[in-house]
Amino acid sequence: MGNMIIGDNIETYRLIVLKSALQMYAKFKMQANRQLTPTTMLKLASAATGNKYTRGQHAQAALDIAAVIEKRNAL
């Protein structure tokens, strides 16, 4: 049986995917998929970090998400 993502790890995995999508958009202006628009990514980052992001702040949102992930892993 392989590794399974369960419990709080699901949220951590979701944050890791969001961080990667934010970094990809900030660097290459490329969306990870059709549903994850630049605005949607910023809204999801705002919900996770509590900070408000405006258009073009994808790199900063990715850094803030990375800090949230580190905090979750430290627990």
In this predicted model, what pLDDT tens digit does every residue of 40-73 receive, in sequence order?
999 999 999 999 999 999 999 999 999 999 999 8
Q: How many helices (H) and strands (E) does the chain have?
A: 3, 0
Is 50 within 8 Å of 30 (Cβ atoms)?
A: no
Q: What is the Rg, in whole angstroms, of the alpha carbon atoms belonging to the chain?
A: 13
DSSP E strands in 11-55: the ranges are none
* Confidence band of 2 (pLDDT split at 50, 70, 90): low
Q: State pTM to two decimals.
A: 0.91
- pLDDT at 1 exceeding the cut of 60: no
pLDDT value at position 6?
Answer: 84
Residues 6+ apart with CB under 8 A from 68: 15, 48, 49
| pLDDT over 70, % of the chain | 97
